[in-house]
Chain A
Amino acid sequence: MKRNWFRRFTGVRNRGINPQGFHVSQIKFYLLLLPLAVFMLLPVVFIVSSAFKPPDELYAYPPRFFVIHPTFKNFTDLFSKFSNSGVPVSRYLFNSIVITLVAVAASILVSSTAAYALSKKRFRLKQTLFAVNTVALMFVPIAVTIPRFLVIERLNLLDTFWVHILPGLAMPVGLFLLKQFMDSIPNEVIEAAQIDGASDLQIYWRIVLPMIRPAIATIAILTFQAAWNNAETSTLYINAESLKTFAFYLGTLTTGATGANAVAGQGIAAAAALIMFLPNLVVFIFLQSQVMSTMSHSGLK
């Protein structure tokens, strides 16, 4: 019995013996996984519960995890600020949604095509380019802020819609992860497609992309977060209020509030954090099924 359990734990799996549904012998998995899973869920619970905390609970020491007297005051405070702003809130929201959608789609396209070239094509600069990307991966992004500003200024991109999207397109982490996943696609699959007369574009679109769907979904989640939470671009490169993002707007509300009224500011910040976080969670739940379900039958050996 014990031996059998270990055999399965270590990856030794015999099809047909494994239980299809629940069985008492599975309880030990739950015993181990459940506490850890709760652990992983804590931050989400925390962020939700602190958004409903009244000020005295937000400042309680030691900090309490669950809210005891839930209140909507943080949200009403936040929404009352909305109605006071010069530009309608829907404008910021619209900007954020469009920017995020375009940025996610474009950066997946750019990184995956580049990863395809680096992983499956033979050309001279291949090694160098990947090395350069890995080096860039390590560099602290804030250190390049000012030179990047100068480049953007010279390209006349200041105060345009494009400045939200273009700088994030060539994402080193995305290329790194996608290339690693593509490396595990056997060359035989691609050679077989070539023999069948498929062009490079067809191979990329109809073979490589479907096979690395889990990686694409992961990158989509990561870029979604980077784009949706990005307030920095609006601060640095945008002057026109009507081109700024929702993340930036919420940021100004909370930092402005902490200056004037620190106690109310904390509550507003907690409510704003929840509002910013919810789309991330929704996108995550929506995309994770792609990550998890396709991995098992992606045809890789």
Chain B
Amino acid sequence: MTNSNPFRRGVSLRVREALHGYGFIVVWILGFSLFTFLPLIETFRYSLHQVTVTAEGIDLDFLAWANYTRALFTDPNFVELLIGYLIETLVSVPIVLIFSMIIALFLNLDFKLKGLFRTIFFLPVVITSGPVIKELTAQGATSAPGIANNPVVAEFLLGLPRALRNPVEYLLTSFILILWFSGVQILIYLASLQKVDKSIYEAAAIDGASAWESYWKITLPSLSAATIVNAIYTIITLSHFSENKVIQYIYAQTYNVHGGIGYASAMAFIYFGVMSLLLGIVYLFLTRWAKKESN
């Protein structure tokens, strides 16, 4: 596209555009590499060592992959926490996506007090971070532990196959919490719903498409890009949530006599690996779905 006319869009112009691009991003690159990227590399180095903090500085003792094998094969808690995290995330992501899509469809309609409702559904943004969620978990309000103890529910849970029991119990006890994670997602869906050209619906209606058909053939495909963004965003906020058990465990191990910085760094990298794997799978799954939808 750029090279359609080699005389006018020559090298110098391209170089100039690139320079402008770098100009816009240079501050970010500086900040990012200093405070995020360099520390990340350093953390990886720590994860290969036994790290002891002394009065003079930091002592490194090379261990190769011992920290990793310890986390994966010796530590009794870590792998279990990881599996719990995987299950919880895999259960939560579809719920958050479906819930926020439905709410966004509703909020895209015309009715009175629409603005107020939009505000209320966006409110979780200030709830899930900061002091509110801390206070809520401290008071035990984020989960409904009573539900799992209810005899009918308990019997129902026992009747389920083992593999399904944990996810379903998680779903029942943390349903409220899951819904509170959908603030930004609703916003993203709403934004892309409003970008859909209304005349497409008119054309479809003239061609005799029912509302049901136009939903599946027009609305849903045009939300596919937003769905991918939302899925990534949901996984990341869930994984970085301050009450996340894996994060709390890593945090506890950092300042633990038996754990230490090196060990915690190794666990952080394993957690990171698992998270990227999860993201990769969800991403591949959704892009394939999006491609199929757009055809």
B interface: dominant SS: helix
Q: Does A41 lie at the interface of the complex (its beta carbon under 8 Å from any beta carbon of B)?
A: yes
Task: Please tell me which one of the listed residues A12, A44, A270 contacts residue B211 in the complex, with CB atoms under 8 A apart.
Answer: A12
Q: In the docked arrangement, what's the CA distance between A177 and B211, Å? A: 31
Residue A166 interfacial (CB < 8 Å): yes
Chain B residues with Cβ below 8 Å from A226 are: 129
Query: Among the interface residues A3, A22, A272, A277, which one has the most CB atoms of the partner chain B within 10 A?
Result: A277
Q: How far is the CB of A206 from chain B (nearest CB, A)?
A: 15
The answer to the question of B40 belonging to the interface, with a C-beta cut-off of 8 Å to chain A, is: yes
Partner-binding segment picked from B86-94, B161-169, B190-198, B284-292 = B190-198
Within 8 A of B (CB), among A217-247: 218, 221-222, 225-226, 228-229
Q: B268–A170 contact, CB under 8 A? A: no
The interface size of chain A toward B, counting residues with CB under 8 Å, comes to 110
Residues in A neighbouring B172, C-beta threshold 8 A: none
The answer on a CB contact under 8 Å between B39 and A148 is yes
A37 touches B121 (CB 8 A): yes
Q: B150 an interface residue at 8 Å Cβ cutoff?
A: no
What is the CA–CA distance of A145 and B194 in the complex, to the nearest angstrom?
41
Contact residue among A50, A139, A167 (Cβ-Cβ distance under 8 Å from B135): A50
Do A21 and B115 form a contact, CB below 8 Å, given A7-B211, A39-B179?
no
A 38-61 binary contact with B (CB < 8 Å = 1; else 0): 011111101100100000001000
In B7-30, the 8 Å CB interface with A consists of: 14, 17-18, 20-25, 27-30
Chain B nearest Cβ from A77, distance in angstroms: 16
Q: Answer yes or no: B123 CB below 8 A from chain A CBs.
A: yes
B259 an interface residue at 8 Å Cβ cutoff? no
A117 contacts B31, CB within 8 Å? no
A138 with B21, Cβ < 8 A, contacts A10-B214, A11-B196 known: no
User: Please, which residues of chain B bring their CB within 8 A of the CB of A18?
Assistant: 110
Minimal beta-carbon separation of A78 from chain B (angstroms): 14
1/0 per residue, CB under 8 A from A, across B113-142: the answer is 001011111111111011111111011110
CB <8 Å contact, B130 and A277: yes
| Bound-complex Cα distance A279 to B274 (A) | 36
B248-290: which residues lie under 8 A (CB-CB) from chain A? Answer: 250-251, 254, 261, 264-265, 268-269, 271-272, 275-276, 279
Contact across chains for B28 and A175 when beta carbons are under 8 A apart = yes
A126 to B31: give the CA distance in the assembly, Å. 17
Give the chain A neighbours of B21 by CB distance below 8 A.
Answer: 117, 121-123, 126
- Check A209 for interface membership: any CB of B closer than 8 A: no
From A116, A135, A170, contact of B35 by CB (8 A): A170
Q: Which residue of B lies closest to A183 (CB)?
A: B225
A124 to B14, CA, bound (A): 11
Which residues of chain A come closer than 8 Å to B70, judged between CB atoms?
none
Q: Is the CB of A114 within 8 A of B24?
A: yes
Partner of A140, one of B111, B112, B240: B240
Contact mask for chain B residues 21-54; partner A; CB cutoff 8 A; 1 contact, 0 none: 1111101111110111111101100100000000
B239 at the interface (CB under 8 A from A): yes
Interchain CB contact under 8 A, A40 and B236: no
Find residues 126-166 in chain A having any chain B CB closer than 8 Å to their own CB. 126, 129, 132-148, 150-152, 155, 166
0/1 interface trace, chain A 1-45, chain B, CB 8 Å (1 if under): 001001111111111001101100010011011001101111110
A173 within 8 A of B: yes
CB pair B38 A151 closer than 8 Å: yes
CB distance from B87 to the nearest CB of A (A): 19
The interface bits of chain B over 182-214 (1 if a CB of A lies within 8 angstroms of the residue's CB, else 0) are 001001101111111110011011000011101
Cβ–Cβ < 8 Å partners of B65 in chain A: none
Given contacts A50-B139, A170-B28, contact A12 B214 (CB under 8 A): yes
CB distance from B82 to the nearest CB of A (A): 13
Residues of A within 8 A of B43 (CB): 143-144, 146-147
A139 contacts B268, CB within 8 Å? yes
* Pairs across A and B, CB under 8 Å, 16 listed: A33-B117, A37-B120, A46-B141, A62-B146, A111-B28, A117-B23, A118-B25, A136-B37, A139-B272, A147-B38, A170-B36, A177-B233, A284-B123, A284-B125, A289-B115, A292-B122
Question: A26-B111, A44-B127, A146-B43 given. 20 additional CB < 8 A pairs?
Answer: A12-B214, A40-B123, A50-B139, A113-B27, A132-B32, A136-B40, A139-B40, A143-B269, A144-B36, A146-B254, A151-B34, A151-B35, A169-B31, A170-B30, A229-B130, A273-B135, A277-B130, A281-B126, A284-B122, A293-B115
